[in-house]
Chains A and B, each alone.
Chain A
């Protein structure tokens, strides 16, 4: 029952995390460009982005913690890619790199972009590029990450453990 509960939370939080990641990359980047051109960008940067980022970064934490709970005693075998755990281990590593990017690259730079942290125009321009590339990098990583979550669960002892 605990395993099912952890998996349920992992999937729900994961849907929110990756759903918002895809929202940022597939919708907001292009929308913000168009909104900047017609002078309506403030609606997104002031009201939408901060809320989306709040759920985005904390969903990432909940997803990782629930994933660690699912792995349980298989945590070390997965992260050391031991026999039978390499698939889920690759997925876990990709998710961990993505969590790092959220909290170390995306969120601190988004704070500068959105004016939640002090930054000069030059720092904002640099922050915009770093946050954009980290977000795109995570979108790229999400593709193999989701594959190995599906494939790894099927081919490791975790699902039956």
Chain B
């Protein structure tokens, strides 16, 4: 499997997905 960080789009999409995952964790478990 190709490393998503090798492409700019893969990096940006990974960042957006990570933002969503962390937001859900903070909103539901830490607030």
Contact = CB atoms under 8 A, between A and B. Distances in A.
B31 A141 contact: no
Interface in A23-81: 25-26, 81
A139 B26 contact: no
Interface in A74-110: 81, 83-84, 86-87, 90
Contact of A136 (B11, B18, B26, B31): B11
A143 B22 contact: no
Interface of A: 25-26, 81, 83-84, 86-87, 90, 133, 136-137, 139-144, 147-148, 151, 155
Contact of A87 (B15, B16, B26): B26
Contacts of A133: 3, 5
Interface string B1-28: 0010110100110111011001100100
12 contacts: A25-B11, A86-B30, A86-B31, A90-B26, A133-B5, A140-B11, A140-B12, A141-B15, A141-B18, A143-B15, A144-B22, A148-B22
- The bracket for how many chain B residues form the interface is 10 to 19
Contacts of A139: 11-12, 15
Contacts of B5: 133, 136-137, 140
Nearest to B31: A86
A60 B1 CA distance: 32
B30 A81 contact: yes
B8 A143 contact: no
A143 B30 contact: no
Most buried by B among A25, A81, A141, A144: A144
B24 to A, nearest CB: 12
A143 B18 contact: yes
A142 B15 CA distance: 7
Nearest to B26: A86
